[in-house]
Amino acid sequence: MKMCYLLYSFLPALMMLSSSPALVNGCEFHQSVCGAQAPGDIIIGIMLPCHRKVSALNDRIRPDNFKCSNFDLLAFMKSLAAIHVIEEINAAGFLPGVHLGYMVCDTCSYASKALQNVEHMFAFNATENLQCNHAEFRPKVKIILGAMYSEVSISVAKLLNVYMVPLLSATSSSPVLSDKLRFPVFLRTIPSDTHQTKAVAKLMAHYGWDWVGVVYADDEYGKAAFQSFVKDAGENHVCLAYQEVLSHHSDYEGNMQRIKQVAQQIRSSNAQVVLLILKVELVDLLFKELIRTKTSRTWIASDGWSRSRPLGHLDGINTIGDILGFSFVAVKSESFDNYLKNLKPTPGGYNHFIEEYKNLRFNCSTECFSANPPSYCPTPDLLTMKSDKACHAMDPQEQNDDFLTEALDTSEAFSDRLAVWATANALKTLMKCNGSSCLGEINFPPWKLLKELKMINFTYEGQTYFFDKKGNFVNGYDLIMWTQDGEHRKLHRIGRYHTLDEQIELHEENVAWLSTVNATTPQSRCSESCPPGSFKKILNVSCCYNCTLCTEGTYSDAPDRIACKKCPNGTWSLKGWSRCKPRTESYLQWSDTHPIAMVTAAAFGIVVLIATLIIFLVYRDSPPMKRAEVRLSCVMMFGLAVSFSSVICFMDKPNVHLCRARQVMYAMGFTLCVSCILVKALRTFLAFLPFGQLRYRRLHRLYKPPAIIIVITFLQGIICLLWLIFDSPQIDNTPPSLQSMKKVIQCCQGSTYIGFGIMLSYIALLAFISFLLAFKGRKVPQEFSETGYIIFSMLIYLFVWICFIPVYITNREQSAPVQVSVILVSCYGILFCHFLPKCHEALWGSNTDTLEMIIRRATARENSDPDPERHTDIPRINTISHNNSELSMSSKSTRRLQTESLQTLNEDSPTDVIMITAFNEKEYIESLYARQERTTIKRRRSISF
């Protein structure tokens, strides 16, 4: 209590501080923050967004002054309306002996900026904030007119509640502000949006529009107005087809994409009437997108944009459809229009906003119209206000014209002028003014003015105005229609909404519809009767509904069902079905075309194998069959036959045993076949490629075909066994898709697919090793080896299985037929590459195709080659290595090594590719070595030289 007394003793000093501009480091904040000011006995604060946004807001990290951009002509004109009325009141002596001043601060459409304005208007300081109460708070600014948007007014009103400074707005219409418990200082010279939404709902009901869409902003104004409309629409049996929300920040980076989505929703909906509760900037962006996509609807405008002249001058605005809306009562003022045509600051004050406007209008800046304008140039929409005489004016600040009266609807400022007159009438009562003087105190606390404002009742322009108990004017709305005016639109009043009796006064003779044939009234009604397969989805409390398709697993068997029924057990339905049916099972059935073709291909492959086996046995003594090794080929045929047979296990309804058998049969059969191919490739690699004597002998000890085949196949068997034990293939129990009536019965290759992957990877590794060995010996003549066939068959296998992996992963429902196709291609690749050519040689080949002829052909090719460097490659029976270490090998040791290798291979494999026993081995080897030695001597000479 003692502290309060001490603080109260300093009240005169605090009043002096609060009534003078705050100075920080020599900076007068009134002048730096507020753009216009005129002195007076009583200061009226004016907060309007003369700029549309705050620049670089995302980069703000220090409490610096806000930097505003995008000059707003409409808000600028409204601030001039308030200034003009203040000057008129002073000139008329409405308050004898009292001179009104003003301070205009720019909110930049941002609540934090508005709060900063309040701070500088009242010049708050630390001492003032320590007062126990603010009953004697006496700032120079007694009232604030504003703000323009409800979002800003809500923030400012919460702060002013502390000091009970009245906030009088001419445009903030959010119903939230009518709550006097939360906002006791807030008043407005317009009705609340609760009346506007009632008027809109009644207008829709009048024309029978019971199926409409709504697009609103996510700010306080938009959300509150939307909630109010939902309630009023239900009471008038109007239903919402959709409701879309847009960010109230027009420069939000994702807003354009969101606007395109909303435009698409408008186009796709059958609702022909759309209510837009948005700011002008958002409507501008939305209309441009709708004009671009040639979308026409009947639009209901909220008070935020219903009188916007720039929107009426958009290119293509006549293609947008009919536009109706409710706006605040608007009355033109001829004196105000004349004031706008002769703009100049109030004597004794300043107005930076007028200076900025005149610079935009009359300053010569031809460089801003170039292809690459400098950064200081205004935005393109502001460049459109540049005067044609700008570059002929000597001083832009001395210029004036009628641009503002032509570009803007000056009647929109009527509510702003009303706000000043309401303030003046309250001041007249408070200060007890008569015809000659005002007897009351001039430096009164603001709460006294608030008290008088709530009780005023005055007449202006022949109309009586007063505030209701919620602080709102009850002057109603004008119902306007945008009629065609050449390529643009103009506003035409077609009625009025009276807030007291909540009735619409409509002049039908003034209504002219543009979007319908013969100017008939547009229609927008709810859907007709919902057919079977759908149900009625109630949107609101009204009787209007959407026909919504029944979801998967539900159905409706009669029209106009309230809800869909669930399908009984064992049945299913797709979206929008009127009955349920059992799901069909999907697998490779014997009767289907695709399985028949695959089984036929497998059977044909087995028949070809049998025929090939017969040919191999009958012609087993012929040179082609001896070179093909009949016994090894028979093992390969057996492996291929098992692989072909595995296709049968893919047919019919799968079970656990078939799932396991199909994979094991293919794995073991194809591994056996590939192991034989690996042996053939290894044989050629060891026999025809040069090695040192010691290295050759060590490698030759490893060449044991039966052991290699058994070990390789046994390892695959171990892999399959471990797979079956730890992660065995099972029936896939994954439930079918909700959008499918087919239940795919298929096998899954275990829970992790690791065993399946290792099995395939093992075969692929064997195929890749065979390919590498064959590729190493690719220059050996085909008469001595099958490297070409091995390379081609292994490439086919690797290619088809590499393609199989992504297809198998992405299309699980077709995994079985895909794997069967790959198995067939792999098997046929080996069949065509390894067996059919030998059968052709045995059946139709020349009987004189002996080893001597082969040698002679090889010798002829070698002698005809002009490049001696190539002689070491053909034939590759005893090619000398290109390494310098190998060149030192003597011809004698080379001859001995080759002879031993051939003899050893002959002993190990009686049917080896080179049948030495059928010919004169000694002559062949000696002639071949003699030619090889000559080549080696040439190579050595060349190296020595």
- pLDDT of 126 reads 40
For residue 343, which of 676, 657, 36 has the smallest C-alpha distance? 36
Reported as a single tens digit per residue, the pLDDT across 474-515 is: 888 999 999 999 999 999 999 999 988 899 999 988 898 988
Question: Which region among 250-254, 310-314, 670-674 has the lowest average model confidence (pLDDT)?
Answer: 250-254
- pLDDT of 202 reads 94
> How far is residue 481's CA from residue 513's CA, in Å, rounded to a whole number?
9
Span 687-714, average pLDDT: 73
Q: Where are the alpha helices (DSSP H) in 342-462?
A: 352-362, 380-383, 403-407, 414-430, 446-453
* pLDDT averaged over every residue in the chain: 81
Of the pLDDT bands very low, low, confident and very high (cuts 50, 70, 90), residue 36 is very high
> How far is residue 383's CA from residue 108's CA, in Å, rounded to a whole number?
20
Reported as a single tens digit per residue, the pLDDT across 72-120 is: 999 999 999 999 999 999 999 999 999 999 999 999 989 999 999 998 8
In terms of pLDDT, which residue wins out, 753 or 350? Answer: 350
Q: In the chain, pLDDT over 90 holds for what percent of residues?
A: 40
pLDDT at 880 over 90: no
pLDDT at 834 over 90: no
Span 18-33, average pLDDT: 40
> How far is residue 259's CA from residue 245's CA, in Å, rounded to a whole number?
9
Phi and psi of 465, rounded to 5°? -130, 145
pLDDT at 682 over 90: no
In terms of pLDDT, which residue wins out, 678 or 132? Answer: 678
In terms of pLDDT, which residue wins out, 369 or 608? Answer: 608
CA 123 to chain centre: 48
> How far is residue 609's CA from residue 615's CA, in Å, rounded to a whole number?
10
For residue 421, which of 87, 73, 75 has the smallest C-alpha distance? 87
Of the pLDDT bands very low, low, confident and very high (cuts 50, 70, 90), residue 45 is very high
In terms of pLDDT, which residue wins out, 296 or 653? Answer: 296
- pLDDT of 317 reads 94
Secondary element (H or E) of residue 243: strand 239-246
CA distances from 16 to 21, 101, 124, 606 (A): 10, 18, 12, 111
Span 164-169, average pLDDT: 96
Looking at this protein, which amino acid is placed at residue 234? Answer: G
Reported as a single tens digit per residue, the pLDDT across 208-218 is: 898 899 999 99
Question: Which region among 118-132, 266-280, 413-427, 520-534 has the lowest average model confidence (pLDDT)?
Answer: 118-132
Reported as a single tens digit per residue, the pLDDT across 344-386 is: 999 999 999 999 999 999 988 888 888 788 877 888 888 888 9
Between strands 503-506 and 457-460, the pairing is unpaired
> How far is residue 933's CA from residue 44's CA, in Å, rounded to a whole number?
116
Reported as a single tens digit per residue, the pLDDT across 178-211 is: 999 999 999 999 999 899 999 999 999 999 898 8
Q: Where are the alpha helices (DSSP H) in 208-343?
A: 220-235, 255-268, 280-292, 309-312, 334-341
Span 720-749, average pLDDT: 84
pLDDT at 466 over 70: yes
- pLDDT of 632 reads 85
Phi and psi of 54, rounded to 5°? -95, 130
Q: In the chain, pLDDT over 70 holds for what percent of residues?
A: 81
> How far is residue 165's CA from residue 148's CA, in Å, rounded to a whole number?
17
